[in-house]
Structure 1
Amino acid sequence: MASTNKFKQMAKLCGLGFGVFSAICIYKEDTQFYKKFIMPAVHLLDPEQAHRFSVMINKYRLLPKSKYSDPQSLKVQAFGRIFSNPVGIAAGYDKNAEAILGLKDMGFGFVEIGSVTPLPQEGNEKPRVFRLKNDKAVINRYGFNSDGHEKVLQRIYELRESNFDGIIGINLGKNKTSPNPIGDYVKGIIRFGPVADYIVINISSPNTPGLRNMQGKKELHDLLVPVVEAVRKVPNRPALLLKLAPDLSYEERKDVAEVISKKECRVDGLIVSNTTISRPDTLNCKEEAKQTGGLSGKPLKELSTEMVADMYKLTKGMPIIGVGGISSGQDAYEKIKAGATVVQIYTALVYEGPTLVSEIKKELVSLLAKDGYKTIGEAVGKSSSS
Structure 2
Amino acid sequence: MYPLLFRHVLARFDPETAHHLAMAVIRFAGIAPVAAVVGRFTRPAPELAVEALGHVFPSPFGVAAGFDKNAVGVRGLESLGFGHVEVGTVTAIPQDGNPKPRLFRLIADRAVINRMGFNNRGAEAAARRLAHLRRSGAIIGANIGKSRVVDVDDATADYVTSARMLAPLSDYLAVNVSSPNTPGLRGLQAVETLAPLLRAVRDAAGSTPLLVKIAPDLPDDEIAAIARLAVSEGLAGIIANNTTISRDGLASDAARVEAMGAGGLSGAPLKARSLEVLRIVRAAVPDDFCVISVGGVETAEDVQERLDNGATLVQGYTAFLYRGPLWARQINRGLLKLRA
TM class by shorter chain equals over 0.9
Query: Which residues of 2 match residues 40-51 of structure 1 at below 5 A?
Result: 40-51=8-19
Match of 1:253 in 2: 223
Query: Which residues of 2 match residues 203-282 of structure 1 at below 5 A?
Result: 203-232=177-206, 237-262=207-232, 265-282=233-250
Among 54, 58, 64, the alignment partner of 1:84 is 58
Match of 1:167 in 2: 139
Q: Secondary structure at the residue paired with 1:261?
A: helix
Which one has the largest radius of gyration?
Answer: 1
Q: Secondary structure at the residue paired with 1:334?
A: helix
Query: Which residues of 2 match residues 18-97 of structure 1 at below 5 A?
Result: 33-38=1-6, 40-61=8-29, 65-66=38-39, 67-97=41-71
Question: Does structure 1 conserve the Cα–Cα contact (< 8 Å) formed by 2:95 and 2:121?
Answer: yes
What is the identity, as a one-letter code, of the residue corresponding to 1:56? Answer: A
* C-alpha distance in structure 2 between counterparts of 1:106 and 1:151, whole Å: 25
Query: Which residues of 2 match residues 107-186 of structure 1 at below 5 A?
Result: 107-160=81-134, 163-179=135-151, 180-186=154-160
Q: Secondary structure at the residue paired with 2:212?
A: strand
* C-alpha distance in structure 2 between counterparts of 1:40 and 1:344, whole Å: 28
Q: Deviations over 1:208-233 (max 9, x none)?
A: 0110111101011121121122223x
Question: Does structure 2 conserve the Cα–Cα contact (< 8 Å) formed by 1:132 and 1:288?
Answer: no
Question: Does structure 1 conserve the Cα–Cα contact (< 8 Å) formed by 2:249 and 2:269?
Answer: no
Q: Secondary structure at the residue paired with 2:333?
A: helix
Q: Secondary structure at the residue paired with 1:60?
A: helix
**CA offset at residue 37 of structure 1?**
2.2
* C-alpha distance in structure 1 between counterparts of 2:256 and 2:195, whole Å: 37
Question: Does structure 2 conserve the Cα–Cα contact (< 8 Å) formed by 1:112 and 1:168?
Answer: yes
Match of 1:298 in 2: 268
- Identity, % of aligned positions: 40
**CA offset at residue 38 of structure 1?**
4.8
- TM-score by structure 2 length? 0.93
Alpha-carbon distance change, 288 to 168 in structure 1, aligned in 2, over 3 angstroms: farther
**CA offset at residue 245 of structure 1?**
0.4
* C-alpha distance in structure 2 between counterparts of 1:352 and 1:40, whole Å: 14
Match of 2:318 in 1: 347
* C-alpha distance in structure 2 between counterparts of 1:292 and 1:278, whole Å: 10
Question: Does structure 2 conserve the Cα–Cα contact (< 8 Å) formed by 1:205 and 1:245?
Answer: yes
* C-alpha distance in structure 2 between counterparts of 1:40 and 1:202, whole Å: 36
Q: Deviations over 1:320-345 (max 9, x none)?
A: 11111111001111111111111111
RMSD of Structure 2 on Structure 1 (CA): 1.5
Q: Secondary structure at the residue paired with 2:136?
A: coil
Question: Does structure 2 conserve the Cα–Cα contact (< 8 Å) formed by 1:131 and 1:288?
Answer: no
Count of aligned residue pairs for this structure pair = 329
* C-alpha distance in structure 2 between counterparts of 1:61 and 1:68, whole Å: 11
Q: Deviations over 1:129-151 (max 9, x none)?
A: 00000000000000100101121
Judge which range, 276-285 or 75-84, deviates more.
276-285
For structure 2, the 5+ residue unaligned runs are none
Question: Does structure 2 conserve the Cα–Cα contact (< 8 Å) formed by 1:245 and 1:275?
Answer: yes
* C-alpha distance in structure 2 between counterparts of 1:367 and 1:288, whole Å: 39
Question: Does structure 2 conserve the Cα–Cα contact (< 8 Å) formed by 1:117 and 1:173?
Answer: yes
Deviation beyond 6 Å, 4+ runs, structure 1: none
Question: Does structure 2 conserve the Cα–Cα contact (< 8 Å) formed by 1:130 and 1:288?
Answer: no
Question: Does structure 1 conserve the Cα–Cα contact (< 8 Å) formed by 2:171 and 2:208?
Answer: yes
- TM-score by structure 1 length? 0.82
Question: Does structure 1 conserve the Cα–Cα contact (< 8 Å) formed by 2:6 and 2:322?
Answer: no
Alpha-carbon distance change, 330 to 201 in structure 1, aligned in 2, over 3 angstroms: same
* C-alpha distance in structure 2 between counterparts of 1:147 and 1:74, whole Å: 34
* C-alpha distance in structure 2 between counterparts of 1:157 and 1:345, whole Å: 25
What is the identity, as a one-letter code, of the residue corresponding to 1:258? Answer: R
Question: Does structure 2 conserve the Cα–Cα contact (< 8 Å) formed by 1:58 and 1:102?
Answer: yes
Q: Secondary structure at the residue paired with 1:98?
A: coil
Q: Deviations over 1:243-263 (max 9, x none)?
A: 01011111111221232232x
* C-alpha distance in structure 1 between counterparts of 2:286 and 2:130, whole Å: 34
